[in-house]
Amino acid sequence: MFQHQNPNQTSPSNQWQLTLILSALCLILFSLFLTPSSAKSQSYSKFINLVESDRVEQVTISPNRLEYTLKSEGFADNSEQVFTTVPVTQDTELPKILRQHQVEFSATPANNDTWFWGFVQVLFFLFLLVNLGGLLIARRQQGGASPFAVGRSNARIYSEGSLDVTFDDVAGVDEAKTELYEIVDFLQNKTKYALLGAKIPKGVLLVGPPGTGKTLLAKAIAGEAGVPFFSISGSEFIEMFVGVGASRVRDLFERAKKQAPAIVFIDELDALGKSRASGGAFMGGNDEREQTLNQLLAEMDGFEPNTGVILLAATNRPEVLDPALLRPGRFDRQILVDRPDKSGRLAILEVHARNVSLAEDVDLDKLAARTPGFAGADLANLINEAALLAARNNRYAVTMADFNEASERILTGLEKRSRVLNETEKKTVAHHEVGHAIVGSLMPGTDRVEKISIVPRGIGALGYTLHLPEEDRFLMMEDEIRGRIATLLGGRAAEELIFGKVSTGASDDIQKATELAERYITLYGMSDRLGPIAFEKVQQQFLDGMTNPRRQVSPKVAEEIDLEVKAVIDGAYQTAKTTLLENRELLTALAQILLKQEVLEGEQLRSHLGQAQRNDLVDKWLQTGKLAQNNLLAPALSHNGKALKR
């Protein structure tokens, strides 16, 4: 790969074009000289009958055929009709019959050029075969895919020194870099390990969420060590033909051994190494995927640890991998490549901002604090989006405002000021978002409310409340989970409190609140009634948005789970309404300001939210998860949600 091509050398694509042009010319010549007559063919006996019935006008006799024309007079079809037939050998009576019926006839000499055009046909097909064979050989020599080489590996090969990625280009994953540097040292200093009798791991598995830099780390190892790098995706092994995947695995390892020391990297290993006990069609003994996996296991057993071939693989679904892949002697080492913390995000931002012109007001440390949960790919996208915004506004440097806007675009979607809301909708959205903000500002463990907006964004968001954490969090207490559920329901509670009815705008909030309440009961085991029992099976460790299936339980237990989830939701909703009833004047005032300005943020927003108060009933629920017996909230609200005078 990365070979210099002589400009005077005919490329395979040009050879194909030349072959097609010459073939087309030959076909045109054949159509001109060898195309048979369009006359219809008839039997010889029918021809004799037509002659005897005086329907034939003219006959042309050739050595291997007769061509005759029927008379047009007296027939329904007055158009000239020409037919051909094959004569009976040595029919000496034919001229006599033609004279008797006054049929005009003539003879044509034998075509002496027939042998020539037959010879041309043979040459034409030989020409095609030679050209096709030459093209296949040329593509094979240049490393191209041959139609007869379906069993060859499709791995992309980066030759020694062609990768310009090093560990300096990878940031935010210091622990993983430390672990992987041992691989680099082994490839550069094999003798040191051999003298000590140490064996380097045959395989290293990189696991972690999408976008955290697993593929980049693998390339950095090859770039640091200066060895050939074979890169292939797990899905590229599997084809519809049985045996192709296993053949490609064998070919990949054979090529890697020939160029050792080398690194083989298989991305998305779960596409190839899914557990054979997962059920379904995969249980078949002759399944193509299973054969390919078996061949991979055999190849990993077949090469010695110190041969210089290191197998790296990456996946974000380690829980579905076959246990045989993960045993010692195959993938000996698993390295977690997780989302970075604040210091890691800062390092990643500094790497991606090297070639970006930054304004003086840009604070990457502050930006790192505003982006918790962002992976390396997300931060790279953030830098690029900010640069695009600056270019769109004809600025010569990227400002902090560009980064803030880019961050909001990634989190909430593109701003859509063309989506015009009527007055009723604006009031509903304003009170809804302020309800989120007030409840969220009073709940424990919730992120700081940074911004409220009623400008529509994204696909369906008519407004949004932006929460930004002040620090990275790795644990959540049970009162904090309850507080988050109450915050999610704060928008709907505000609508019911102010307007006496609710809208469809809270549907996404209800969905998220219900999912969090279910995890509170079934996964975290925080229900006093059911106890610390996990009713969910964790199957997606690193992929967000995929729910975990519930364990098989009796109908009675399932009913109790549903009742507990409903109790958590009901308590959170009552708490949100209690909080907003306590701060009704603040809710109304903030909504009016938001209707005028459309956006509330920064110190102005925090000064207003600082006036919010939380009563003892809310504190009681947060601590115990139970509403107080003397809760005066229910009688404080009428059945239609309108607040009564206190």
Task: Reply yes or no on whether the pLDDT at 107 is more than 80.
Answer: no
Q: Where along the chain do its domains lie?
A: 40-108, 158-276+287-336, 342-412, 423-624
Q: Residue 134: is its pLDDT beyond 70?
A: no
More confident residue, 397 or 133: 397
Write down the pLDDT at residue 584.
Answer: 93
- Whether residue 603 is predicted with pLDDT greater than 50 in this model: the reply is yes
Where residue 635 falls among pLDDT bands split at 50, 70, 90? Answer: very low
* pLDDT score at 27: 60
> CB-based contacts of 627: which residues, under 8 Å, 6+ apart?
571, 574, 617, 620, 621
Quickly state the pLDDT bin for 280 (edges 50, 70, 90): very low
Inter-residue contact 534 to 553 (CB < 8 Å): no
Mean pLDDT score of the chain: 79
Least confident segment among 66-75, 316-325, 396-405: 66-75
pLDDT band at 5 (very low <50, low <70, confident <90, very high): very low
- What integer is the mean pLDDT of 173-188? 85
- pLDDT value for 615: 82
Concatenated DSSP letters of 86-152: PPPTT-TTHHHHHHHTT-EEEE----TTHHHHHHHHHHHHHHHHHHHHHHHHHHHHTTPPPTT-TTS
C-alpha separations of 100 from 52, 57, 61, 91, 116 in Å: 9, 13, 17, 16, 39
CA dist 16 → 13, 129, 135, 143 (Å) = 5, 13, 8, 17
Q: Which CATH class is domain 342-412?
A: mainly alpha
| Domain 158-276+287-336 architecture | 3-Layer(aba) Sandwich (3.40)
CATH of 40-108, one of 3.30.720.210, 3.40.50.1220, 3.40.640.10, 3.40.1190.20: 3.30.720.210
State the pLDDT at residue 539. Answer: 62
For residues 303 and 252, what is the distance between their CA atoms, to the nearest angstrom?
13
> Which residues 6+ apart lie within 8 Å of 592 measured at CB?
none
**CATH architecture for residues 423-624:** Up-down Bundle (1.20)
Q: Give the active site residues.
A: 433
pLDDT tens string 497-543: 999 999 998 999 999 999 999 999 998 889 888 888 888 776 666 66
Between these two residues, 241 and 421, which has the higher pLDDT value?
421
3-class state of residue 248 by DSSP: helix
pLDDT exceeds 90 at position 565? yes
User: How large is the average pLDDT for residues 565-577?
Assistant: 93
- Alpha-carbon distance values, 490 to 156, 462, 465, 609 (Å): 53, 16, 11, 14
